[in-house]
Structure 1
Amino acid sequence: MSAMTGLEEESPATPEDDQADPHGDPFLRTRFAVPSLPATFLRRERLTRHLDRGLRTPLTMVNGSAGAGKTLLVADWVARRDGLPVAWLTTDAAGDGAGMFWAYLLRALRGAGVPLPADIGFPADANRVSPALPARLAAELSVRERPVVVVLDEFDRVTSPEIAEQLGFVLHHAGPGLRLVLVTRTEPLLPLHRHRAAGELTEIRGAELAFTPHEAAELMELHGLSLPPAAVRTLVERTQGWAAGLRLSALAAGQSPDPEAYLKEFEADRSTIADFLLAEVLKRQDAATQELLLRVSVLDRFSAGLADALTGRDDAGAILDRLSRGNAFVEHLGHGLYRLHPLFGEILRAHLRMRRPGRETELHRRAAEWLRRSGSLAEALGHGAAADDWEFTAGTLIDDLAIGQFFTGPRSDAVAGLFSRMGRDTKGPAPELVRAAERLARREVDGGLTHLRRARHELAEYDGTADAAAPRLSCALLEALAARLAGAPDRAEDAARTAERLRDAVPAELLERHPELTALLLDHLGSARLWAGRFEEARDALTAVAESAPGAATALPREDSLGRLALIDHLTGWPGRAERKAHEALVETERFGLSRPSGSGVERLVLAAVAVERDELGQAQALLDTAAESHPAMRDPVREAGHALTTARLHLARGDPGAALKAVRPEVTADADSPWVRGQTALVAAAAHLAEGHPEAAAGLLGEVPDEEPACAVGAARVELAAGRVEAAVRLLDRMRPEGRAGPAVTVRAALVRAQAADAAGDGAAARGFVVRALAEARRERLRRPFLEAGPWIRPYLGATSLHRLTAGWLAPGSGPPRRRPEPPPPVVEELSGRERDVLRRLARAMSTEEIAADLYVSVNTVKTHLKSVYRKLSVNRRNEAVRRARELDLL
């Protein structure tokens, strides 16, 4: 039989077999020893519990990279197992043949106290084994009352399909008598898919082996290092929780007089971690693989095609697949993309600089060109900047029509930060356009216009060429923004017409890829038209933006357009509509996870103005404060004028006309006059003069009030009436006829002017009819200010029992001006995020900012940012107010 199979029959097991392997050499007893645990070993209960659950399945696999803590984890678990025999075998570094593997495994079982009969046999050949041996072993194990646990450490060294097949046979036929634990860096050759499908596999992989910040802090303490949570979190982020990296860092830091500073500043290329990774990972690879790893170290993530571009070869796909399967610190992200472990990549880059000086810049340039051709804009820009090739980088941004990314989208901060490193010596139209965008993004109009002039001069060389279409369209967008900020509506119209002509010359796929360009252009045009008082034309442009397809790239212009549409509704007397649009604007960016302000904040000013109309003065003040806090002073004529007017009206409502006169004259720098700003400013100033008892001074301002807008005409009629010119007031209303042309905030005041005029003429019935009309319209919108402003003449009408049904529940009747009802607490302007609620709950427990940061494992600055957002959303200014407000709203 042996002659036919080519195998020698196993000899019966004898006592001597316990002393020698198939070569006749003594067994290496260290291969059976469970590794001892260092004094600084950290027991992680979540992982040992997972291993405990693994006893319910025949196969457990602990799979992770070198230094991930696999072996020590299983060794600790084994040391705590009571009752079950455990056979430990560390596979041979050179790779055992089948006979040697089974000889060592049989010895491990006997050493663990597992009785095996002599007829199981013993391999006579180090490289081969008879099928009878695995069959007899499986039969013997299958009848055990209690299973034996077999741990095969470093199983990635077993590369023989024959051994894997035999081991799988034993595992299958041993049934409940065997629990196999494989500790490996790579996927073993066993048919894991079958075990997974049958629910017979327990897996612990690299992500689970990674230390959490809490575990890392405990590990540091075991090494005598007490670090603040922020330092621990930074270390975990850098090592990605890699056990060996954390331990080696702790050991090295322990030798430093300032461990925290060392861990923050240590250079990976000079550390013991570098030595470990270079020896355990890089130098285990062949020369071609080492060269690939060094070259792709300049990349954050990469495909096989990009790796081939950097190496000049065509075999990167197979190499990367092998490395990722082998846990060689190369992770497959899916969709054909890979990345290096961050610390491994850092070490490889340092190694590359040492071995190939100057090569890093060349690799970045190659990557940038390949990524640009493949359409990966963000990565192309990053590598172009890393190569210090700013002409290429700026040209890539402009040619891709991506200039709008300076102002909107999830990458706006990244793009601005990237180009902040561009030197002044870089010439050409694209760099000048980028500089103009940088300045305009900061609302530096004069500086932006200077660079725009230079860009136009540079572009003159490209007249009539197809290459100039994208730069010229980008230039038109920036000119529209500059015109909006400068209050120059005619220039904005010119820029919009230029952009419309250029659209046909730009590839359609570019416009589809960058919807933010069109959204920004229309937003700027709509804002400029709003400044000019062309409300309907402004509404058309802004509505097109607000109704565009939602997405992160256009969230900020949609927010801004909704805020300005709300302002138009407010100016034309529709507070309810204005409020709804303003709330839509507030949630527009948050639903896409964007926190950067749009640069206007008009929506909060509108909500504050509506709150003044409803005599909810505390809420109005809170909204004004949050508008100023979240959108600090910047050049935007519409916003500046809106803030001044709302602030002045709030002062008037509080009975301080002097403060109103000071606030209503904003220092708005604009190239063109805004008729509605001029008119509204004059009306607020006139109201302040009236409150001070100077009707003639108020009437003297009427020349500044344009009467083509219903709101301004009604305001002028109120001033005329207060000055005693009753007939002039009525004629003004008759000529304008605001009813049907304006909203209730205008028509209510118009009705009250007519009611006062009728009362002055002694026509009480007509006056009562106009008051009834005003109340009916005001009730729907809860407009209290018009009645509080009306004066003593209205007292008898509001006090009439017959009008009680119109005033009940929102406007208190009485003999004098309506008494103010206690103001309801301001509503939440925006919903709190989950992390903001976490901060708020700890705030309610009187925890300090530092304690909250430590408890949540975030930085103090992050907590401060969350607190600022909580205050804004709850319309409060202090901690105790936030807690009280949250309890009122059942948030705590």
Structure 2
Amino acid sequence: MQNPARTGSSAPGPTRAAGSAPARAPSGDPILAARFAVPALPGSLVRRPALLARLTEGVQGPLTFVNGPAGAGKTLLAAHWLAEGRRPAATAWLTVEPGDAPGTFWAHLLAALHRHGVRLPDGPDGDGDLDGAPNGSGPNGGPSGHPAGATGAGVGPDRLLLSRLAEGLARSPEPVVLVLDQFDAIPSRAVADGLAFVLRHSAGGLRLVLLGRSEPLLPLHRYRAAGEVTEIRNADLRFSPADAETLLRDHGLTVSRAAVQTLTERTDGWAAGIRLCALAMQRAGDPESFVREFAADRAAVADYLLAEVLEAQPPATQDLLLRVSVAGLVHPDLADALTGRRDGEWTLARLARSNAFVEPVDGSAWYRMHPLFAEVLRAHLRHRHPGLEPRLHHRAARWLAADGRITEAVAQAADAGDWRFAAEQLVAALAVGRLVTGPDAEPLGRLLAAMPAGLDGPAPALVEAARRLAAHDLDGFAAHLRHAEGQLTAADPAARLGAAVLAVLGGRAAGDPRAAARAAADADRLLREVPPELLARHPEVPATVLAAHGAAELDAGHLAAAAARLTAAVAACGPAGTPAPHGESLGALALVELERGRLRRAETHARGALAVAERSVLPPRGLAGVGHLVLAGVATEHDDLATARNLLDLVAGPPADPVAAVRAAVTAARLATAAGDPAGALAALRAAAEDPRARALPAWTADGLAVAESAVHLARHDPAAALAVLDGADPARPAVAAALARALLAAGRPDAALATLGAVGAVAGPGLPADQVPVPDQVAVWLARAEAAERLGDPAGARRQLALALGLARPEELRRRFVEAGPWVGRVLGRHPQLAREHGWLPGRLLRPAPTQAAGPLPAVVEPLSPRELEVLGQAAQLLSTEEIAAELYVSANTVKTHLKSIYRKLGAARRSEAVHRARELGLL
């Protein structure tokens, strides 16, 4: 049996007797059976089970509404739903035609219901039926075939017929589902009121499914309030990339995931657009190239949109659509500025209600035009009105600039070729720094890439300087900045402030913290010269200046001053419109607190930066990257290495900020070393040192790379290399002194190590404010002193100085520092159980009790055990299996087996228990 939905026929009903006249509506028009036919399904059909389920669920209630623009797939979705048999048995379909008079509509509706045997009570006995199709054959047919109660061609049925219809539906043995396609084609309030009356009084016997481009005139608010309406909107109908891929595959097309994503984005998920593209791609020699070169003004797409959408509008609306197509987002006042009329608000609202590829932007007065439709309109504008488009861009640029939408104004000015206006707006709005940092840097850079060279005035020179800085062309930046500064006057504080902000950013990029700090001080002073009303319109500017000043202090290694400036910058970011400086300040402040060892504060600020990035959809390479980087550093200090690795993987590429780039490399090196991959650790550090921006690294961060590399060489048992890499570092820095001492100790030179540590004196002593020497550096110095005492046979000194290091690290639980110090820490703690009990926050492998020394001479060791072998041996002593040791140390089981074999050889043992016993005798555990 053929499926009626696929053959284009509706469910069977009474047939007209041979030779009888066709049934007619009150208008005299014939009853067209084709309007009861469910549209046939195409050969390539994308199944959308979630939407089909929503239709099935919707007809459990009185009203279901499927609303979307032309080609969104409304009719196809309903036809698919009927074809799959998800509907109740009694289902009728009626396609409404534009221009239907009320009487014609009701005649067709009654005929549609008649096809499904819906009975209409004829009187008190209830005998009779609704019959609008046969020519006077039913008890309710008048002499001309009109349903009883119809009052005329243009009026429709009276209340009696509507009441009898509602009663007949109420008595139906099961609810009747009526699908009305293109219901919005009838603008009659009387028809909508009559339909609402029948729906309300049918006692659940009628379930309406309305398909249309605009909202029906039914009182939807009542159904929404009662929870009795199911709405499927354009956002639901849009194709996902997976839907698009299925459709292309059904057309015999195989393209890359990237091409599918591009096609979906270009069409905004518009079903008809994707289908038209698929047909065109079948004829194209290279479907992949078709997507890359896809233009909306291709004939198939353009013809559809022009015929179905643009030409369906009155001339004044067509003119508005063509003119506003030059703008990505449209405000009613902008529309009026582009048309010279005053009907923008009403026209845009009407277009949005009718789903004419214009939709409101949530929570604002702005409207968004479908990108394909906008492209078609712009092509049509150029054809219909040559030379008008640049003038419209020029007009839009000035309106947007006056509204404070600088990025959009610059885009319009660039499209108009008005480069001087674009540059002057960026400078006047204190926004020239946006070319270098923040979410607008990349799009603004692309917009201004075509700006011609040699434009007069300070504004174009400042813009060109910013562009050169964004491209890391420091020489070009300096030349254009000098050129701009030579043209600045005291009467233009906005331009002078812009130059100062660029000088701050340039000083940072050049690795000159002093120059950056001087420029930041100038910017602070110039803020007081800028008109207050201008600053009030741009609250991000003071926050940006404070953030830049704080970043300059961070580059200089002045952590306390940086924290103060950045805290002030965060506080200045209360007003709306400051997400970029807010997130940047929080990220930089998190980095400062991580360097200071204040892990809880660092974590709080990092999570704050991530929240700002998520709310504001800011680029992950910026705020989110620094946020994840800091959290990875915190996890590393806490010895939570698995979490640290996962977080570091979320950092999208090397950070642009030099301090953040060094921190990323150091964290990666520590994690690689812990995993037994010193080669990977060295590669991460050297990549940071060889980065083109490395010549701009502040001295203290360059020393940080050297300290980290020295630690990797010590893990490889190469104290000579560990000393060599520190050769150019400043030994007056506590972190460098501690690293030198560790290398000298590993080289067997404890006296030289103590002398190196003596050079820093009491700089890392107890009670010294942490904002002068970071806590991690203080801990490193005391750990080096403790290790020296241990090597020199001074157990009391080793215990005392280890206790000082533990006391400093305890508030923030800097666990990893003590694991990385070496196995001697565990031995000292083992000799002093009370000290171990006081610091239960340390990793368990450091808190095992001291071994019992055997009487007599200790067995000889063939070869010293490496730090990694000692770790494996310590895990084995806890009776962990090979797989458990591998999981604990984040290595493979085969690696553990290799280490165990080496341990057996070095300790002269034949099995694990014997190796553990010998190690305890030697004091290695």
1:108-137 Cα deviation digits (max 9, x unpaired):
333344442523752463222451332332
1-structure distance, mates of 2:348, 2:511? 56
Q: Report percent identity of matched pairs.
A: 41
Residue 331 (structure 1) aligned with residue 336 (structure 2): no
Q: How does 1:304-453 map to 2 (within 5 A)?
A: 304-334=332-362, 335-453=364-482
Distance (whole Å) between structure 2 residues aligned to residue 759 and residue 152 of structure 1: 90
Give yes or no for the alignment of 1:651 onto 2:675: no
Structure 2 counterpart of 1:73, one-letter code:
L
- 2:543, 2:581 within 8 Å by CA — same for their partners in 1? no
In structure 1, distance between residues paired with 2:178 and 2:405: 49
What aligned pairs does 1:490-639 form with structure 2 within 5 A after superposition?
490-508=514-532, 510-511=534-535, 517-519=541-543, 521-522=545-546, 524-526=548-550, 537=561, 540-541=564-565, 544-545=568-569, 549=573, 551-564=579-592, 566-567=594-595, 569=596, 576-577=597-598, 587=607, 589-591=609-611, 592-593=613-614, 594-597=619-622, 599-600=656-657, 602=659, 605=662, 632-634=691-693, 635-638=696-699, 639=701
Per-residue deviation, 1:416: 3.2
Structure 2, unmatched stretches of 5+, are 1-15, 119-128, 131-137, 623-654, 859-863, 873-887, 896-925
Q: Who is 1:91 aligned against? A: 96
**Counterpart among 20, 25, 45 of residue 21 in structure 1:** 25
| Correspondence list, 1:51-130, <5 A | 51-81=55-85, 84-93=89-98, 95-114=99-118, 115-116=129-130, 118-119=139-140, 122=146, 123=150, 125-130=152-157
Give the alignment of 1:747-758 within 5 angstroms.
749=781
Please, what TM-score do these two structures have when normalized by structure 2? 0.72
Q: Tell me how far apart the structure 2 counterparts of residues 455 and 512 of structure 1 sit (CA, whole Å).
A: 26
**Is 1:771 aligned with 2:784?**
no
Q: State the partner residue of 1:719.
A: 756
Query: How far has the Cα of 1:167 moved from its partner?
Result: 2.2
Residues 485 and 220 of structure 1: CA distance in aligned 2, closer, same or farther (over 3 Å): closer
Contact kept? 1:614, 1:784, Cα under 8 Å: no
- C-alpha deviation, 1:371, in angstroms: 0.9
SS of equivalent residue, structure 1 residue 88: strand
Q: SS in structure 2 opposite 1:89?
A: strand
RMSD: 4.5
Query: Tell me, which stretches of 5 or more residues in structure 1 are unaligned?
Result: 1-13, 570-575, 667-673, 699-714, 722-728, 826-873, 882-892
C-alpha change, 1:630 and 1:656, in structure 2 (3 Å) is closer
Asked if the contact 2:675–2:890 (Cα under 8 Å) also holds between the matched residues in 1, the reply is no
TM-fit CA distance, 1:304: 0.5
* Pairing of 1:137-152 with structure 2 (within 5 A): 137-152=165-180
CA distance in structure 2 between the aligned counterparts of 1:223 and 1:791, rounded to whole angstroms: 66
Q: Shift in Å at residue 349 of structure 1?
A: 1.2
- Aligned-pair distance for 1:80? 4.5
Equivalent in the alignment of 1:278: 306
Alpha carbons of structure 1 residues 90 and 375: separation in structure 2 relative to 1, 3 Å = same
Give the 5 Å matches for 1:781-860.
781=809, 805=836, 810=846, 820=867
Q: Does the C-alpha gap of structure 1 residues 772 and 516 become closer, same or farther in structure 2, counting only changes over 3 Å?
A: farther
Which range moves more in the overlay, 147-156 or 684-693? 684-693
Q: Say if 1:481 and 1:521, in contact at 8 Å, map to a contact too.
A: no
Indicate the residue corresponding to 2:648 in structure 1. none
Label 1:685 to 1:290 Cα distance change in 2 as closer, same or farther (>3 A): same
Shift of the alpha carbon at 1:49? Answer: 2.4
- 1:63 and 1:204 in contact (8 A); partners too: yes
Letter in 2 for 1:229: R
Relative distance call for 1:773 and 1:691 in structure 2 (3 A) is: closer
Alignment partner, residue 123 of structure 2: none
Does the CA-based 8 Å contact 2:180-2:211 persist in structure 1? yes
Q: State whether residues 473 and 503 of structure 1, in contact with CA within 8 Å, keep that contact through their aligned partners in structure 2.
A: yes
Give the secondary structure class of the aligned counterpart of 1:254: helix
Once the two structures are TM-superposed, the CA of residue 774 in structure 1 deviates from its matched residue by: 0.2
Are the structure 2 counterparts of residues 498 and 218 from structure 1 closer, same or farther at C-alpha, using a change threshold of 3 Å? Answer: closer
Q: Supply the distance in 2 between the matched residues of 1:233 and 1:614 (Cα, whole angstroms).
A: 36
Correspondence list, 1:242-321, <5 A:
242-321=270-349
Alignment match, 1:171: 199
- Is the 8 Å Cα contact of residues 67 and 74 (structure 2) preserved in structure 1? yes
Highest RCO, 1 vs 2 (Cα 8 Å, sep ≥ 6): 1
The answer to whether the 8 Å contact 1:604/1:624 transfers is: no
Distance of 1:135 and 1:362 partners within structure 2? 60
Do residues 192 (structure 1) and 220 (structure 2) align? Answer: yes
Does the 8 Å contact 1:58/1:180 carry over to 2?
yes
- State the AA in 2 paired with 1:428: G
2:193 partner SS: helix
What corresponds to 1:671 in structure 2? none
- Asked if the contact 1:69–1:244 (Cα under 8 Å) also holds between the matched residues in 2, the reply is yes
1:232 to 256, 260, 265: 260
Q: What secondary structure sits across from 1:61 in the alignment?
A: strand
SS of residue paired to 2:359: strand
TM superposition shift of 1:43: 4.2
CA pair 689-258 structure 1, distance change in 2 beyond 3 A? same
Question: Which residue does the alignment assign to 1:480?
Answer: 504
Once the two structures are superposed, what CA deviation does each residue of 1:594-635 show, in whole Å capped at 9, x if it has no partner?
Answer: 422553353575588799999975599677766777894412
Alpha-carbon distance in 1 for matches of 2:834, 2:789: 20
C-alpha distance in structure 2 between counterparts of 1:658 and 1:441, whole Å = 41
Residue 755 of structure 2 aligns to a residue in which SS?
A: helix
Deviation of the 1:23 alpha carbon: 4.7
Question: Is 2:48 the counterpart of 1:44?
Answer: yes
- Give the letter for the 2:498 counterpart: S
State whether residues 600 and 636 of structure 1, in contact with CA within 8 Å, keep that contact through their aligned partners in structure 2: no
Identify the residue that residue 10 of structure 2 maps to in structure 1. none
Which deviations, in whole Å up to 9, do the C-alpha atoms of 1:156-206 show, x marking residues without a partner? Answer: 221122222222222222233322322222212222222222333232222
CA deviations 1:413-456 (Å, max 9, x no partner) are 33333333333243321222222223333444332221110110
Report if aligned partners of 1:330, 1:341 keep a CA contact under 8 Å in 2. Answer: yes
Relative to structure 1, the CA distance from residue 496 to residue 471 in structure 2 (aligned partners, 3 Å threshold; closer, same or farther) is same
Aligned AA (1:599) = A
**8 Å CA contact retained: 2:25, 2:103:** no
Deviates more, 1:419-428 or 1:189-198: 419-428
- Gap change, CA 1:209 and 1:630, over 3 Å in 2: farther
- 1:748-788 deviation line (CA, Å, top 9, x unaligned): 8479769979999xxx9xx5553332021123436898999
Structure 1 pair 485/803, CA: closer, same or farther in 2 (3 Å)? Answer: same
Q: Distance in 1 between the 2:441 and 2:91 partners?
A: 58
Per-residue deviation, 1:525: 4.4
Paired residues of 2:36 and 2:94 also in contact (CA < 8 A):
yes
Any conservation in 1 of the 2:785–2:801 contact (CA below 8 Å)?
A: no
8 Å contact kept, 2:527–2:542:
no
Match of 1:176, SS state, is coil
